[in-house]
Amino acid sequence: MYVSGDYDIEYNMYCPNCNNVVGDYECDNLWFTYCPKCGQKLKYKE
């Protein structure tokens, strides 16, 4: 796996409103129901 910097950004899920990291595609895991930064409701679809 190619990793640049502290983490591989391809595997992160981002809030569609503020681009805050809210989950991990590799583990298929959304960490929050709402974004902790802006309050946007989040839902994950493959």
Q: Which two tokens stand for residue 31?
A: 């960490």
Let me know if residue 1 belongs to a domain: no
Scan for tokens 């409103």, then name that residue: 17
Q: Is the pLDDT of residue 1 over 50?
A: no
Count structural domains, the chain.
1
Q: Which two tokens stand for residue 25?
A: 């595609």
DSSP string for 13-32: EE-TTT--EEEETTTTEE--
Let me know if residue 13 belongs to a domain: yes
Let me know if residue 2 belongs to a domain: no
Let me know if residue 39 belongs to a domain: yes
User: Which of 7-16, 21-30, 36-45 bottoms out in mean pLDDT, i.e. has the lowest?
Assistant: 7-16
pTM as predicted: 0.62
pLDDT tens for residues 14-27?
Answer: 888 998 989 888 77
Q: Which two tokens stand for residue 14?
A: 């981002």
> Structural domain of residue 30, as residue ranges?
7-46
* Spatial distance between the Cα atoms of 46 and 38, rounded to a whole number of angstroms: 23
